Amino acid sequence: MRKIIHCDCDCFYAAVEMRDNPALKDIPIAIGGSVEQRGVVATCNYPAREYGIHSAMPMAQALKRCPHLTLIRGDMAKYKVVARQVFAIYREVTDLIEPLSLDEAFLDVSNVSLYQGSATRMAQAIRERVSREVGITVSAGVAPNKFLAKIASDWNKPDGLCVITPGEVEHFVQALSVKKIHGVGPRTAEKMARLDIHTCADLRTRPLTELVEHFGRFGKRLHELSFGHDERPVKTHRERKSVSTEQTYAKDLPTLETCRKELPALLEDLERRYARLDPPPGVRGLMVKVKFNDFTQTTVEHADPAPNLEQFETLLNVGWARGKRPVRLLGVGYRLAEAAPAEQLSLF
């Protein structure tokens, strides 16, 4: 049985800013783009969250909720330095680390002998060292698999630790709200509520065929997770599946034609990002993202190994037609081909 720790730095960017400037600690702050550039909140501290502010919220809306909110542009170079310090502490415990972002990772400690093999004590030690040596806090979840470890790390935030032992899995999962399952967004949760599915115990009462009928392939995953089953290993190498770029405009793009005029600059930036991949993988498809001025958004995709401007224009036409309203954000991207598996060559 695996022993998995999920570590998640608490409001990471904001935590680094509060560490470097203690005067920010007890006031609402948000990291992100400026209102003039129609930026969004990248993260915010807990005093700001008391006003209902959250990541991905437009900064203008955040300021309406909290007029005295302190805005900080952010310093990605500094955050990357801090992230490397945190991950260096993780690596002193195990080499089996799967980074999910700068501030979040799974650690497989199944075969680690430190602290008499206690994953709980390892998680406690990690949290104490990060707090003492780096000056920020980490919440951690300990469980027999990745699904439960990730849920556990969020259970006692901020600066918390939650442990789900193998003997506690059954009781914990049955009472777990389906809203806690990764992939269950507001719309899926509403659909489940209409079906009178609110907890994993409710999911268990439904046949697999019924879940697949209502939720497609995700129905099979829901069935597995409702029993606390998750056999995914911790992957030390995460294969990139896409590369993309997007731009939020200071003024809405009022027509389809004005949107089209922005495509060449976006595609030029996309090509620069793609060229930085080492080595650049194959392209298997392309995508266009359109966010309208009412904050609704749509993504249009098409499989093609040789994308060009005309194809992106076609996808933009489809995306714009779904809203036919002024556009505040455009994005373009490539879906990347999976690396070819190693092949045993014939001797003859």
Closest CA to 144 of 67, 234, 210, 62: 234
Instruction: State the virtual CA torsion across 315, 321, 326, 328 in degrees, nearest 10.
Output: -30
The residue behind tokens 């036919």 is: 324
Which residues are known binding-site members for Mg(2+)? 8, 103
| DSSP letters for 161-210 | EEE--GGGHHHHHHT-BGGGSTT--HHHHHHHHHTT--BHHHHHTS-HHH
- Contacts within 8 Å (CB) and 24+ apart, 109-113: 109/3, 109/4, 109/5, 110/1, 110/2, 110/3, 110/4, 112/3
Which residues are known binding-site members? 8, 103
User: What is the length of the chain?
Assistant: 348
Closest CA to 63 of 42, 46, 40: 40
User: Cα 135 to the chain's mean position, in Å?
Assistant: 24
Catalytic residue among 17, 92, 104, 190: 104
97-101, strands of its sheet edge to edge: 97-101, 104-108, 4-9, 138-143, 161-163
What the block records as the tokens of 187 is 């719309």
What the block records as the tokens of 77 is 């170079």
Is 104 assigned a catalytic role? Answer: yes
Q: How many CB atoms lie within 10 A of CB 260?
A: 17
Helix/strand/coil for 254? coil
**Catalytic residue IDs:** 104
